[in-house]
């Protein structure tokens, strides 16, 4: 495996397909997370606000085919509203903002699972499909801080809604700390026939 990864084109890169968020929403979520981290003196409050659908690894030489397959799939998706409300927790270590209903989310994951051969380098390295579409304020909290924070945030209110109408494909090479935007993919609600023509062209 190591020798293969050293060959030109066989290098493994990390990818994420994420929902493109409106700037106003990203700023609102960033402020909510930063406020949480400042209130409880936690590091990492300025991390990027992301809503990933799937995380995976792929070899560099297959990147173009993978991108084309994802673009064709995503172009068939119809823009849809996503709603977030108040706060939730994962006892006893995380506080997050949950999606009101995950029913719009599941068909997207189902479609992506149909492309597994394009978003994995081999059968041992499976893609990770994000089944819990939440915005995390903080995770891996110490018990004392979690108890104190949840006592407060369980009574707080938060609302946000937006139209999901595009994805961003993010990429990070081996050793890179930051993600780069590789491509924006619009949801165009294209008919199945157009998708298949593009997919197999």
Q: Quick one: pLDDT band at residue 44, thresholds 50, 70, 90?
A: confident
What SS3 state is found at 87? Answer: coil
In SS3 terms, 127-149 reads as CEECCCCCEEEECCCCHHHHHHH
Of 106 and 9, more confident: 106
- With 50 as the cut, is the pLDDT of residue 149 above it? yes
Contact 28, 160 (CB under 8 A): yes
- With 80 as the cut, is the pLDDT of residue 174 above it? no
Query: Helices 23-39 and 143-153, interaxial angle, to 10°?
Result: 130
pLDDT mean over 117-131? 94
Question: DSSP secondary-structure letter at 121?
Answer: S
Residues sharing a CB contact under 8 Å with residue 81, sequence separation 6 or more, in sequence order: 104, 161, 162, 163, 164
0.85 exceeded by pTM: yes
Helices (DSSP H) in the chain: which residue ranges? 2-6, 23-39, 63-74, 105-113, 143-153, 192-200
How far lies 84's CA from each of 39, 62, 116, 161, in Å?
22, 36, 29, 6
Q: Quick one: pLDDT band at residue 3, thresholds 50, 70, 90?
A: low
Rg (CA), the chain: 19
Contact 94, 107 (CB under 8 A): no
Q: How does strand 159-164 pair with strand 128-129? A: unpaired
The domains located in the chain, with CATH, are: 12-200 (3.90.1140.10)
């Amino acid at each position: 495996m190591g020798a293969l990864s050293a060959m030109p084109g066989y290098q493994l890169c990390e990818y994420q397909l994420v929902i493109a968020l409106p700037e106003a929403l990203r700023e609102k979520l960033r402020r909510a997370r930063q406020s949480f981290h400042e209130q409880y003196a936690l590091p990492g409050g300025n991390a990027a606000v992301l809503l990933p659908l799937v995380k995976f690894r792929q070899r560099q030489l297959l990147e173009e085919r993978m991108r084309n397959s994802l673009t064709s799939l995503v172009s068939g998706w119809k823009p849809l509203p996503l709603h977030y409300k108040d706060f939730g927790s994962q006892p006893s270590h995380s506080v997050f903002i949950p999606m009101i209903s995950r029913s719009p989310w599941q068909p997207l994951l189902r479609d992506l699972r149909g492309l597994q051969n394009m978003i994995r380098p081999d059968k041992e390295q499976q893609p990770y499909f994000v089944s819990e579409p939440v915005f995390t304020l903080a995770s891996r909290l110490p018990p004392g801080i979690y108890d104190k924070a949840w006592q407060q945030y369980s009574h707080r209110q938060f609302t946000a809604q937006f139209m999901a109408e595009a994805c961003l494909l993010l990429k990070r090479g081996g050793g890179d700390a930051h993600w780069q935007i590789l491509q924006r993919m619009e949801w165009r609600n294209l008919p199945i026939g157009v998708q298949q023509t593009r997919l197999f062209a």
